[in-house]
Chain A
Amino acid sequence: MASTRDIRRRIKSVKNTRQITKAMELVAASKMKKAQAAALAGRPYAQLMADMLTALGGSVDESFHPFLAQREVKTRGILLVTTDKGLCGPLNANLFKLVTEIKSPAKFYVIGRKGAQFIARTQRSMVADFTVSDRVAFKEVKAASEFMVAQFLEGVIDTIEVIYPRFKNTLIQEPVVRPVLPLLSLKEVIAASQADSGIVRGAQSDDREMLFEPSAPQVLEALMPFFVNRYIYQLVLSAKASEHSARMVAMKTAKDNATKLVGELSLEYNKARQAAITQEILEIAASAFAA
């Protein structure tokens, strides 16, 4: 049996670990709240965007915009949204599983250090990696999405897809592949956008014909990149919310485990202590008899 001093030392170290994981859990919890609030704040925007696309949908030819045109897929462009730091359970590993399932030629664009390391380690072709702070400013994501759109228009990549941990609730984050470009048709975009914001709006209250300035195609030309930026931004927000809740859950498990371990070790310590005392009494008694 280990000596009481060894056990005491272990209890102390496990308690320290518990302290740290508890602190990290609290930090992750508060960050999660913020991330969720940010995801919610983006909703009115998403809804308005859907409204405008609905208005446009009826009045332009869909085949005319490069984002809408279907073309042969030679190289897929994949944006992998991961975390910068670890200690968030199986979150990143689940994403990487999805990545390894991709067999067709693909170029990767990465957000988050963990993803960049993984792509480099597995020797996949990585075009660029971006960092996004915890606050997730729109401009940070915009840089990434605009870069991808430019590559898409140049023909370097033929699709834009996003692999990210979708935030379902605090306990469940599912890794998904979300195709962004080419948009199959305007209707699909609108449906996706409405599903995102969770609100389905009825027909326009005003049925007079809509006027476009300067012209419908021109407005569409400007609105499309805008829409893509916004869409990817929303996905990244969701990924951030996932990250913090995954970390919170992982840290909570770690804390609970530490508490359990402290309990077990205390029991062992008490047993060892008791055994030592009994031994001592026996020895005293034995020496008393002998005398």
Chain B
Amino acid sequence: MALTLEIVTPEARVYSDTIDTVVIPTVDGEIGILPGHIPLLTQVEHGELRVTKGSTVLFLAVGGGFAQISGDKISVLAEHAITEEKIDEKAAEQAIHRAELAMKEAKDMDPNEFEHLQTMVRFAGTQLAIKRRRR
């Protein structure tokens, strides 16, 4: 029995395919999903999502969100998500750089803004980690 995986963000459906297994980063640590998993609703953390299909392994960077497993259908609802081939290393580096600069400059910045910058840094960091592992 194959699993179907669907990853959506508010802006688009990032990924949708039938797969063999997937490893999802959750707040309680990584969980691997195989066919026949019990129905589950869990919180997704910033991190890398590993999709195995046949002999290929695909990495995706995901930002906070939720995952639902129901029958052989896995749905991931994330604020950000990006597939490995779409990651732009330079853009991610620059994003980190920009965000860090902004965080240094304004000590008493709006906490929301600060949190957003932190999220950006973490997401960009995840993207870089995925991209660089291959070398």
Q: Residues of A at under 8 Å CB distance from B? A: 38, 41-42, 44-45, 48-49, 51-52, 55-56, 138-139, 142-143, 146-147, 204-206, 208-214, 218-219, 222-223, 226, 230, 233
Confirm or deny: B68 has a beta carbon within 8 angstroms of a beta carbon on chain A. yes
Assuming the contacts A143-B112, A205-B70, A213-B28, asked whether A44 and B42 have C-beta atoms less than 8 A apart, the reply is no
Q: Residues of B at under 8 Å CB distance from A? A: 6, 8-13, 26-28, 38-43, 65-66, 68, 70-71, 73, 75, 77, 79, 112-113, 116
Our count of residue pairs bridging A and B at CB distance below 8 angstroms stands at 89
Sample of 16 A–B contacts (CB below 8 Å)? A45-B77, A48-B75, A51-B75, A52-B41, A55-B39, A143-B112, A146-B112, A204-B39, A206-B71, A208-B38, A210-B41, A211-B38, A212-B40, A226-B77, A230-B10, A233-B10
Within the complex, what minimum Cβ distance (angstroms) separates B23 from chain A?
15
8 tightest A-B CB contacts, nearest first: A206-B71, A213-B42, A210-B39, A211-B40, A138-B10, A44-B8, A206-B70, A205-B71
Provide the residues of chain A in CB contact with B70, threshold 8 Å: 51, 55, 204-206, 210
B26 touches A213 (CB 8 A): yes
Assuming the contacts A41-B12, A138-B11, asked whether A48 and B77 have C-beta atoms less than 8 A apart, the reply is yes
Within the complex, what minimum Cβ distance (angstroms) separates A92 from chain B?
26
**Among candidates B13, B66, B68, B112, residue contacting A44 with C-beta atoms closer than 8 Å:** B13
A56 touches B39 (CB 8 A): no
Provide the residues of chain A in CB contact with B41, threshold 8 Å: 52, 55-56, 210-213, 219
B27 touches A214 (CB 8 A): yes
B39 touches A208 (CB 8 A): yes
Residue of A nearest to B9 (CB): A45
> Of A41, A44, A143, A233, which is in contact with the most chain B CB atoms at under 10 Å from its CB?
A44
**Among candidates B9, B39, B66, residue contacting A223 with C-beta atoms closer than 8 Å:** B66
Provide the residues of chain A in CB contact with B39, threshold 8 Å: 55, 204, 206, 208-211
